[in-house]
Structure 1
Amino acid sequence: MDLNAFNINLGATEAIALDAKSEISAAYEYDTTLALESIIKEYASTGESQTLSFRSLVSWIKVGERATHYIHPYPAKLLPQIAHFFLAARGYFGKGIKVLDPFGGTGTVALETLLSGNEAYYSDANPLARLIAKVKITRIDPSALTSELEIIKFSYKQSRAKKAPDVVNLEKWFTPDVIRGLSRLKSSIEKIENLDIRDFFLVVFSATVRRSSNADPRLSVPVQRKPSNVRKNVSAIEIFSQQAELSIQRMNALISLSSEDFKSHNVGFDARQLKKPAPWNSESQKQLAEGTIDLIITSPPYAGAQKYIRASSLSLGWLGMAGSGDLKGLENQSIGREHLPKSVWSTSFVSSVPAANDLIVRVRQKNPLRAAIIATYINEMESCIAEMSRVLAENGHLVLIIGNNEVCGEIFSSSEYLTTIAEKHELVPVLKAVDEIKSRGLMTKRNKTAGLISREWVILFKKVSSKDVK
């Protein structure tokens, strides 16, 4: 079913949905229940995946003008319209629900959850992502931020050069003047006593780090600019001031669109072991209880297709989260990583998905490392999906957003493999849709072993009792 046919068949339903004004949040004016139910009904009738454009389905929101979504760049961010579409279907999922994103990234789902009047739970392995998410969903008085910005600028003028932190290949990415400027800025920010305000300006500082570096801004991972494009006379304090003013405007928009009583919870660093809520930079020792969550909306990493830690390496170093010697260990904690020690990948791998095992055998004949990477990915995603099922309430739902890519010239059907795993864990698909990717900062074709990702599968699962699974 293509989008044009969908619009023709659903025209009246869409009109009804757009007339259903929300009483929950200024950021959620319309209820999409009828539109969602119509798509689910079509899928149940035909058994065929629906080709949709979530940008068209949620045409009334403009992400660039929406709260704090753009407070900091990050690779492969989830399209907010996807989260918005499902969260706006209050007649289907309910109101005042608990919504989880175990691969929370910088908090796209968490922010949309709070704007919709629901309760947000999030997790991510990358400490930079967790910091950005925390700031993105924390209401802070813009006037207090404006006042603090002036104090930072005054402190910067009075400060002297500080010792630079442990940043991988520091002199490769930053000129001596920029290193001194960033060091003085970091020292000025660290004097702020209010933790929320300090974290806000650390996120601004992180955005400044990348913008003041010699890295090509068009690529998510640090790649040096061509000599002809290297900028001269870069001022860290000027870039910081510009970024701060923009971020304060976004914070003002967040406050205007949200209520004071919204709740958000960090539930750990590992999607395979979700924990009881704790501050963003600490982790509880106790498990998140079974059946806690009503709805999960998440976009897991792709198998070896995005270098999240490398993309964050400059900020991680400047913020003191991971020095040059810590990056490998942090990457090893991440699912979807593309590096494994030879002692691991030189052995044969078997996954729990028969179709994937056939692919692994073929890939291993071409490249044993790539075969180990995709096998490890599938096995780790099985642990993640089992954990999602555990924390989901009965009759709760999972929205899984995932793309298929190529490995060594072979199609790696993530959507098929993860659906097979989900069904083993009492998660039954009730809708399969495909959305064309316009731009999500996804990795371009890297080498002969990797392929472009141009479409995303959006699959809605419902958790049912094992006795009800046929």
Structure 2
Amino acid sequence: MVDEMQGERLLATTEAVRLIPMRHSEARSGRRASGDFVPFPVDTTMALAALTRQFADSGKPVEVTFRKLVHWIRSGERSSHYLHPYPGKLLPHIAHFFLANGTYARPDDTVLDPFSGSGTVALETVLSGRTALYAEANPLGRLLTAVKTHPIDTAGVAVALEQVRGSFAKSRARKPPEVVNIQKWYSPAVIAQLVRLRAAIDALDAGHQRDLMLATFSAVARKSSNADPRFSVPVRYRPGDAPARPAPMELFVSHLSANCARLATLGLIDGLGEAIGAGNDARSLKAADGSRLADGSVGMIISSPPYAGAQKYVRASSLSLGWLGLTPASQLRGLEERTIGREHFAKASWGKQHPSGIACADALIAEIAKENPSRATIVAVYLSEMRSALTEAVRVLRPGGHLVLVIGDNTVCGRRFASSEYLREMLEQLGMTVVLSLVDTILTRQLMTRRASTAGIIATESVIVFRKD
């Protein structure tokens, strides 16, 4: 167990921030931090113009590697991006590249991500000094986005930690929350300690510090489980492979220290932007007061929509959703049914979908239906719901605004399901014009899912830029 002095030393380590070498002339005006962390050291306008010319000349997608294109962002930590693991995260370099120019977004533009996940676009947006709007069906993603985009008072967190420790020591809480298959994923001793730790956090006053504690607790709950962290969805370690782990409270103190160091960078930024939730459904975007988000109120959209049945988004966060009380095990199916890209449908619904309006997609779906009506239904519903989401996105985008779509193609029943082409055609039908098309290789394994003979590996992503004329 970590003692109190060690915990205080851990929390004091907020100066360990990765520094990006730069010349003063490279810094974007107004985005200089009061310390040495400069979130946007390079203007990408010229690089963007060169890629746009290359695409216009060839008419073909331009192959790029965003890790090399945005070489000033090093691999590993950058601000609070890695505050908590999350499946299918967008590469921060992509959002950064399109925010670091004066062509696509004005300094005062609002930037929307209608499929925000854990908030990669939202964080890069607030680091650029702009207002971020984010919508996400998964309540864990909404919590993480709110936490990682809000600066914290480190001294206040230290006081809150002492309160948590005191409550933990005195806690007699015994009843665990409704976590799916809790006995499979946790030993009785770990369950007992996690229950007491969660009760201690619940005793804090509501606010950003408590939200930070809950987000940290969520990561600890996953790391304390019998689930192998190499997989985004819970998969048990093989017998004998599980490593020895510290007690949950020790893990919690260590993770909280690391998260404080990450969030400390936000406090260094002069003119940090604000992140505002836009609801839990990309098909019905909301303003801060709960009303319908106004037409033409968004300056730019950057988003990586879900894939068609290629990622188990809800299952991947099921342990955290249960421990946090956000979605008990009995309600996980309901959450999945509200999620675009889901893969479970009742047999009675198979084959009852309307055509997507994309001729080549409908022909492919009809072909798949002969072999596997369940998979055909999954992709048909996906296209229908994505059309609704894209229609809503175009509605809120201002004339002249740009939409950056990051999407990959996956395999369904051994056939290429060209999501990038289908969504592109949908947006063109909605009056959007393609001004740039890029292709990048996916290096992370988080989206490389294989389902025997019915699915394949997603190896590349298309980054397509549209303009609303």
Give TM-score scaled by structure 1 length.
0.91
**2:125–2:273: 8 Å Cα contact kept in structure 1?**
no
1:300 is matched with which residue?
A: 305
2:456 aligned with 1:444: no
Matches within 5 A, 1:87-166: 87-166=99-178
What letter corresponds to residue 157 of structure 2 in structure 1? L
1:322 is matched with which residue?
A: 327
For 2:240, what is the secondary structure of its paired residue?
helix
2:85 aligned with 1:79: no
Q: Give the Cα separation in 2 of the matches to 1:316 and 1:216.
A: 18
Give how far 1:194 is off: 4.3
More deviation in 233-242 or 450-459?
A: 233-242
Matches within 5 A, 1:279-290: 284=290, 286-290=291-295
Please list the CA deviations of residues 208-232 of structure 1 after superposition, one character each: whole Å capped at 9, or x if unmatched.
0100000111101111111111345
**2:441–2:461: 8 Å Cα contact kept in structure 1?**
yes
1:337 is matched with which residue?
A: 342
What letter corresponds to residue 396 of structure 1 in structure 2? G
Kindly tell me: are residues 361 and 415 of structure 1, through their superposed partners in 2, closer, same or farther at Cα, counting changes over 3 Å?
A: same
Kindly tell me: are residues 355 and 18 of structure 1, through their superposed partners in 2, closer, same or farther at Cα, counting changes over 3 Å?
A: farther
- Which structure has more relative contact order (CA 8 Å, sep 6+)? It is 2
Q: Give the Cα separation in 2 of the matches to 1:215 and 1:360.
A: 35
2:34 aligned with 1:23: no
Q: In proportion to residue count, which structure has more helix?
A: 1
**2:109–2:131: 8 Å Cα contact kept in structure 1?**
yes
Please list the CA deviations of residues 113-132 of structure 1 after superposition, one character each: whole Å capped at 9, or x if unmatched.
01011110000000000000
**1:304–1:373: 8 Å Cα contact kept in structure 2?**
yes
Q: Give the Cα separation in 1 of the matches to 2:458 and 2:351.
A: 28
Q: Give the Cα separation in 2 of the matches to 1:229 and 1:212.
A: 14
Please list the CA deviations of residues 115-171 of structure 1 after superposition, one character each: whole Å capped at 9, or x if unmatched.
011110000000000000000001111121122222212321222242100111110
Give how far 1:361 is off: 1.0
2:256 is matched with which residue?
A: 244
**2:135–2:281: 8 Å Cα contact kept in structure 1?**
yes
2:287 is matched with which residue?
A: 276
Q: Give the Cα separation in 2 of the matches to 1:200 and 1:86.
A: 29
2:220 is matched with which residue?
A: 208
What letter corresponds to residue 402 of structure 1 in structure 2? I
For 1:219, what is the secondary structure of its paired residue?
coil
Please list the CA deviations of residues 416-438 of structure 1 after superposition, one character each: whole Å capped at 9, or x if unmatched.
00000000111110000000011
Task: Count how many residue pairs are aligned between Structure 1 and Structure 2.
Answer: 441
What letter corresponds to residue 364 of structure 1 in structure 2? A
**1:18–1:30: 8 Å Cα contact kept in structure 2?**
no
Kindly tell me: are residues 242 and 398 of structure 1, through their superposed partners in 2, closer, same or farther at Cα, counting changes over 3 Å?
A: same
Q: 1:174 pairs with 186, 190, 203, which one?
A: 186
**1:63–1:80: 8 Å Cα contact kept in structure 2?**
no
**1:431–1:461: 8 Å Cα contact kept in structure 2?**
yes
1:4 is matched with which residue?
A: none
1:9 is matched with which residue?
A: none
Q: Give the Cα separation in 1 of the matches to 2:85 and 2:245.
A: 23
2:411 is matched with which residue?
A: 406
More deviation in 23-32 or 301-310?
A: 23-32
For 2:28, what is the secondary structure of its paired residue?
strand
What letter corresponds to residue 420 of structure 1 in structure 2? E
2:399 aligned with 1:394: yes
**2:277–2:288: 8 Å Cα contact kept in structure 1?**
yes
Give how far 1:324 is off: 1.3
Give how far 1:341 is off: 1.1
**1:71–1:247: 8 Å Cα contact kept in structure 2?**
yes
Q: Give the Cα separation in 2 of the matches to 1:199 and 1:391.
A: 30
What letter corresponds to residue 93 of structure 2 in structure 1? Q
Kindly tell me: are residues 24 and 140 of structure 1, through their superposed partners in 2, closer, same or farther at Cα, counting changes over 3 Å?
A: same
Q: Give the Cα separation in 1 of the matches to 2:80 and 2:182.
A: 30
**1:79–1:440: 8 Å Cα contact kept in structure 2?**
no
Give how far 1:327 is off: 0.2
2:247 aligned with 1:235: yes
Q: Give the Cα separation in 2 of the matches to 1:176 and 1:318.
A: 15
1:3 is matched with which residue?
A: none
Q: Give the Cα separation in 2 of the matches to 1:260 and 1:32.
A: 20
Matches within 5 A, 1:32-43: 32-43=44-55
Give how far 1:202 is off: 0.1
What letter corresponds to residue 405 of structure 2 in structure 1? L
**1:178–1:234: 8 Å Cα contact kept in structure 2?**
no
2:10 is matched with which residue?
A: none
Q: Give the Cα separation in 2 of the matches to 1:64 and 1:24.
A: 25
For 2:29, what is the secondary structure of its paired residue?
strand
RMSD: 1.6
Give how far 1:20 is off: 4.1
What letter corresponds to residue 101 of structure 1 in structure 2? D
| Structure 2 segments unaligned to the other structure (5+ residues) | 1-22, 32-37
Kindly tell me: are residues 348 and 329 of structure 1, through their superposed partners in 2, closer, same or farther at Cα, counting changes over 3 Å?
A: closer
Q: Give the Cα separation in 2 of the matches to 1:421 and 1:332.
A: 23
More deviation in 191-200 or 429-438?
A: 191-200
Identity, in percent, stands at 46
What letter corresponds to residue 159 of structure 1 in structure 2? S
**1:221–1:310: 8 Å Cα contact kept in structure 2?**
yes
Q: 1:368 pairs with 370, 373, 376, which one?
A: 373
More deviation in 348-357 or 314-323?
A: 348-357
Give how far 1:444 is off: 2.3
Please list the CA deviations of residues 64-91 of structure 1 after superposition, one character each: whole Å capped at 9, or x if unmatched.
2311000000000000000000000124
**2:116–2:303: 8 Å Cα contact kept in structure 1?**
yes
Q: 1:222 pairs with 234, 244, 250, which one?
A: 234
Q: 2:71 pairs with 29, 47, 59, which one?
A: 59
Give TM-score scaled by structure 2 length.
0.91
What letter corresponds to residue 293 of structure 1 in structure 2? V
**1:399–1:459: 8 Å Cα contact kept in structure 2?**
yes
What letter corresponds to residue 248 of structure 1 in structure 2? C
